Amino acid sequence: MTAPDPDGLLAEQLLRLTRRVHRIQKRHLEHRELGITPAQSRLLRTLAHYGSPPRMADLAERLEVVPRAVTTLVDGLEAAGKVRRVPDPANRRVIRIELTDDGRAALREVRDARRCAAQEILAPLTDEQRAVLGGLLDTLVDGPQDAPATRTL
């Protein structure tokens, strides 16, 4: 008989939670009838973090996908009027992607859908449990804050 694998169990729980978050968020997005997929909503959220319109390559790098995937997402969002391609003022060969007014409105709806999904998922937890979970997730996402510097031999 093999010993239980607690790390394997935690990994499975995290994957199941991620899938559940994705399903619930997708349901909230569909309920709002935005016509935006979760991948497109991620691109809109990413666009909002830039001070000026990014290049497609910048988006691909930040989203950790191949450039072709960004092209497909931008094509769909552009057809829906949520983003537009604009020439770079310094180099006409470079195309940048910017949010339209409809895109900013959709982004507000996406954020609200995410907030509703989070409320649904976190509903069983007390405020104290939420605070503990938030701290644990910060540690997992960012790594320990007081991690020792890389040692050289």
Q: What angle do CA 35, 116, 125 make, to 5 degrees?
A: 150
Residues in Cβ contact with 110 at an 8 Å cutoff, skipping those fewer than 6 apart: 29, 34, 36, 41, 44, 45
pLDDT tens for each residue of 17-26: 989 988 898 8
Distance CA 82, CA 98 (A): 9
The full DSSP string for 84-137 is: EEEE-SS-TT-EEEEE-HHHHHHHHHHHHHHHHHHHHHHTTS-HHHHHHHHHHH
Provide the pLDDT for residue 129.
96
- pLDDT tens for residues 54-79? 999 999 999 999 999 999 999 999 99
pLDDT at residue number 148: 52
- In this prediction, residue 40 carries a pLDDT of 92
Claim: this prediction has a pTM higher than 0.95: no
d(CA 120, CA 55): 35
25-56 pLDDT, tens digit per residue, is 888 888 888 888 888 999 999 999 998 999 99
Q: Say if residue 88's pLDDT is above 60.
A: yes
Please give the pLDDT value at position 150.
Answer: 46
Q: Tell which residue, 101, 97, 104, has the closest CA to residue 45.
A: 104
Q: Is the pLDDT of residue 149 over 80?
A: no
134-147 pLDDT, tens digit per residue, is 999 899 888 776 55
DSSP secondary structure of 16-65: HHHHHHHHHHHHHHHHTT----HHHHHHHHHHHT-SSPPBHHHHHHHHTS
What does the block give as tokens for 87?
């020439």
**Would you say residue 153 has pLDDT above 70?**
no
